[in-house]
Chain A
Amino acid sequence: MSTGQLFITVGAIVLLTLVILRINNVFFSTSSVMLDTKFGVMAVSLGSSIIEEATSKAFDSATDTSSVSSLSSLTDPLNLGPESGEVYPNFNDFDDFNNFSKSTEGDSTFQSAVFNIKCKVVYVNPTNPDVPSSVKTWHKKLTVTVTSPSMSDTVKLSTIFSYWYFR
């Protein structure tokens, strides 16, 4: 092997080493992104599930078994949350989800990551739904926040649930 060939061979080995390192880096970063997005999609789905579950309930404890025609019948803004003795999953109205938190730790269906869910329910005015109302209205906003130690993003979803029925 001549000196020139030796240099070419060494150069080739160096090049191969660099390519392998680069590919290794790509593999790791792709794996990380794939996991992050997978957890993100799961977090959005979890948040949507909570929203679907909450909106399947009565608007208020006062409307669970009867109809109301006055705002005064509704739960006080400071008392939003489960009534005495009500424990998830046996909530019966939308605002029972106020301050509800849940972790998937120990849930056999979530073996890839642990998700932490936190809920907040407030009254809102339809003309300014981003701002909590200090008085009772016919509209309640549920904000679901989903986080995970395995996920860099925090997923936040909100929905407004209003009192109505048409038969």
Chain B
Amino acid sequence: MGGKASLLVVLGFSMIFLVVGLNFSNLSTRAVDNYSSYYTVTKAYDIAVSGANMAANQIFMDKTWDAGYQNLSFDGGVLNVYVSNTITGTAGKVLICHTPPGNPNAKHSMWVPVSAVPSHLAHGDYLGDCSGQSSGGQTATIISEGTYNGVTKVVEVLLRGSSFAKFGNYYSTMSAYPATGDTFEGPFHVNEWLTTYGSPVFWGKATSAKGLKMMGSPKDPKFYGGYEDGVNIPLEFDTTNLRSNADYIFYDTTRTKSLVNVRLYFNSDGTLTYSQKIGAGNWSSSKTVNLSTFAPNGVIYVQGGNIYTKGTLNGKVTIVAAKSKITNAGNVYFEDNLVYNKDPRIYPNSTDMLGIVAEQNIRIQDNPNTRGKDIYTQASMYAQNGTIGPEDGLINQNFLGQWNILGGLIASNTRATAQYDYKGNPIRGLKFVHRYDNRFLTSVPPSFPNTKSYEVVSWLE
């Protein structure tokens, strides 16, 4: 009886020990699987990121690059990079729906060269776009697939043309430097050294081409949106490209190479009142038209002339003053305030948006409407070869007012808006009060100039 009991006890303990042992074996297996999986996924991810980097460099060097990389061996795995690039259009390219191996959720519509179609079809892609996915626009998409030990990781990068309108402030060079008391909203760039005095504040990301020089005391600029140097964005844009997008072109109909002056007065009811003057002739009688029918694509272009403008804009438009080799042309003058019918700070859903593109300068005209008064301007302003600011008479006037800007300033150089005492305080002219229009981060005025490069819209890993 005692023997049987001891046997039963021993068998019982043996069973318990065997179950515990089995659990420990499973624990070992799971731990090894976990480590192996982590290592494999990390390797696959590193391969995919490497491919995205290499492709980004190729597009950085050549905006039209779309060759990609096929079956590259790297770090014990395989790298495939596919590029859809529609910056030069879609001619000679085929629209396909690409699905990364083992990752159907990452399928993507792509425009690929005809020569690349067979290899795509061979790994399960099909012609046409993926249902419900947009595939147009001037964009480039990089899809980098890193495969290691049967695991594929995908990095998807979406690039698009970068508009100058996104900048709160852009200058090729700065003759007046940001200083204590200055506050800059929105992205800031100077394509030179960024020189600061004391503690100016930059709320948006600040970039420069050559680096940062901190002067004064304390040497403490505040970069709340981050700072990066080594970023070269030349202020280069061929305004004639805008001409092809223009709905209405004012030009010298006399063909005598005369200066064309155009008045564009915006009315709050969505109309535009315009007149023009060619050379030494008289101003034509004013015409009032509905802005949306006069410029359905939102571009009004003056060839070889200047624009004189004011009013309240109800709509979305870009006005362009091109020099076209005519002396004293390519300028935009504000005759008075130029504001939106619905201020986006009060009406967040406002669709009123103005782009001003001048091949030379943008000026607040010195006239009875502007002298001795605060000025309000709401627009993204682009002066390719000049500066943005008041005429000399307003800077030297015996009055200190404010120039209240909502939008962006993009120019070749800075221009003083006031005169200052020895302490650096403005004493006459117009104090510069600038607020960035945040809508320009995601939406820009019609056909507003793009930089020569792309910007990263998304980087998905």
Among A23, A29, A64, A129, contact of B74 (Cβ-Cβ < 8 Å): A129
Chain B residues, Cβ within 8 Å of A5: 2-4
* Contact digits for B28-44, partner A, Cβ 8 Å, 1 yes 0 no: 10011011001100110
**Cβ–Cβ contact B28 & A23, under 8 A:** no
Among A13, A37, A167, contact of B10 (Cβ-Cβ < 8 Å): A13
Chain A residues, Cβ within 8 Å of B13: 16, 19
Among A22, A47, A66, A161, contact of B53 (Cβ-Cβ < 8 Å): A161
**Is A26 interfacial (CB-CB < 8 Å)?**
yes
Chain B binding surface SS class: helix
Q: Could you say which of A79-87, A99-107, A111-119, A152-160 contacts chain B?
A: A152-160
- Nearest CB of chain A from residue B223's CB, rounded to whole Å: 15
The closest CB in chain A to the CB of B24 belongs to: A30
- Nearest CB of chain A from residue B317's CB, rounded to whole Å: 26
**Cβ–Cβ contact B229 & A65, under 8 A:** yes
CB under 8 Å from chain A, chain B span 40-87: 42-43, 46, 49-51, 53-54, 56-61, 69, 72-75, 79
**Cβ–Cβ contact B56 & A19, under 8 A:** no
Chain A residues, Cβ within 8 Å of B231: 67, 165, 167
- Bound-complex Cα distance A48 to B46 (A): 9
**Is A27 interfacial (CB-CB < 8 Å)?**
yes
**Cβ–Cβ contact B28 & A164, under 8 A:** no
- Nearest CB of chain A from residue B166's CB, rounded to whole Å: 9
* Given contacts A30-B24, A51-B46, A157-B46, A130 and B39 within 8 Å (CB-CB): no
- Nearest CB of chain A from residue B194's CB, rounded to whole Å: 11
- Bound-complex Cα distance A155 to B320 (A): 60
CB under 8 Å from chain B, chain A span 10-41: 11-13, 15-16, 19-20, 22-23, 26-27, 29-30, 33-34, 36-38, 40-41
**Is A8 interfacial (CB-CB < 8 Å)?**
yes
Chain A residues, Cβ within 8 Å of B56: 162, 164, 166
**Is B20 interfacial (CB-CB < 8 Å)?**
yes
- Bound-complex Cα distance A167 to B6 (A): 80
The closest CB in chain A to the CB of B8 belongs to: A12
- Bound-complex Cα distance A129 to B79 (A): 10
Among B10, B17, B189, contact of A12 (Cβ-Cβ < 8 Å): B10
**Cβ–Cβ contact B54 & A166, under 8 A:** no
* Given contacts A126-B69, A130-B74, A138-B61, A165 and B230 within 8 Å (CB-CB): yes
- Bound-complex Cα distance A22 to B24 (A): 12
**Cβ–Cβ contact A8 & B7, under 8 A:** yes
**Is B106 interfacial (CB-CB < 8 Å)?**
no
CB under 8 Å from chain B, chain A span 63-77: 63-67, 69
- Bound-complex Cα distance A130 to B69 (A): 14
Among A12, A128, A163, A166, contact of B162 (Cβ-Cβ < 8 Å): A166
21 pairs, CB–CB < 8 Å, chain A vs chain B:
A1-B3, A4-B3, A9-B7, A20-B17, A34-B28, A41-B35, A58-B230, A63-B230, A67-B231, A67-B232, A69-B232, A127-B72, A129-B72, A129-B79, A130-B73, A158-B50, A160-B74, A162-B57, A164-B60, A165-B228, A167-B455
Report the 5 A-B pairs with minimum CB-CB distance, sorted nearest first: A5-B3, A162-B57, A160-B50, A164-B60, A67-B232
A residues contacting B by CB (< 8 A) are 1-2, 4-6, 8-9, 11-13, 15-16, 19-20, 22-23, 26-27, 29-30, 33-34, 36-38, 40-41, 44, 47-48, 51, 58, 63-67, 69, 126-130, 138-139, 141, 155, 157-167
